[in-house]
Chains A and B, each alone.
Chain A
Amino acid sequence: MNDTVQAKPQGYYESLFSIQAVEFTLLDLSLYLLTHPMDAAALQQYSQLSQQLKELTRRFEDQFGPLTHRSVGPNPPYGWVATPWPWEV
């Protein structure tokens, strides 16, 4: 009954981790900016990283499949359920 976790293609974890790192920084900055809306350095970092996240996400999804329903696209095999769930990797 155990789903076997297939070996991940090369670069999977690295690419995922770079998204996690940038997205986390954005999340933390957005909380910080609620109470520090005038912090120019934080604002600048926020806008720079949000650009970077878009690019990283696009590259990850092209290679490893969608991270959200919005980017599933019309083509199997990269459909929503064709890739492993977060608790399986």
Chain B
Amino acid sequence: MWIYEKKLEYPVRVSGCNPNLAKFLIEQYGGSDGELAAALRYLNQRYSIPDSRLKGMMNDIGTEELAHLEMIATMVYKLTKDATPQQLKAAGLGEHYVNHGKDLYYENAGGVPFSVRYIQGKGDPIADLYENIAAEEKARATYQFLIDISDDPMVNDALAFLREREVIHSQRFREGVEILKEAQLHKAYY
């Protein structure tokens, strides 16, 4: 089970109302390499992956991705809560507004709804771990693109934190591959 902690993993502050930036950030909410995809991917793979350490990796990183999802949601909420419908429209969020109002929605920056087809579960530990490493690197690249395009240094502070977490997650999954290789060596020689 999970217990909710009434705080963010890392503080999220914004300089002001900025629906243009919010529209871009939604990519990491419901996009193909976003936090929802990451959380669902790892929490689903954890059941059948061999080795308790790898289960721990999937479980704990999957859980942390939920905390990242909440940070992105907080950014989008804070950047849009005071925007008028006209401002949302000017930012390209008019279609979002007529469908969802001020609610968030699991979609990408282009407004395409989240699809579970973004994620894989191959039932093969090496395939799954390499998928996860690729996913972390794609998420890292997306955070870099968001930082490049953003005009809010306060948002960039939290985005840089999230970018660094993708680096760490990728590192842990790479070590997961080594754990598997070692296990296979032992199988071959003993």
Q: Which residue of B is nearest A83, CB measured?
A: B6
List B contacts of A80 (CB < 8 A).
6
**Known pairs A24-B9, A30-B60, A86-B8; A69 contacts B179 (CB<8 A):** no
CA distance A28 to B64 in the complex (A): 10
Taking CB atoms and an 8 Å cut-off, the chain A residues in 22-68 that contact chain B are: 24, 27-28, 30-32, 34-35, 66-68
Cβ contacts B1-27/A at 8 Å (1 or 0 each): 001111111111000000000000000
| A16 partner, pick from B7, B60, B64, B82, beta carbons under 8 A | B7
Count residues of chain A with CB under 8 A from any CB of chain B.
24
| A20, B11: Cβ atoms closer than 8 Å | yes
One of B4, B57, B61, B176 near A68 (C-beta < 8 A): B4
A20 to B7, CA, bound (A): 8
The reply to whether A68 and B5 form a contact with Cβ atoms under 8 Å apart is yes
Q: Is A2 an interface residue (CB 8 A)?
A: yes
**A48 → chain B closest CB, angstroms:** 20
Which B residues have a C-beta under 8 Å from some C-beta of A? Answer: 3-12, 53, 56-57, 60-61, 64, 70, 73-74, 77-78, 81-82, 168, 172, 175-176, 178-179
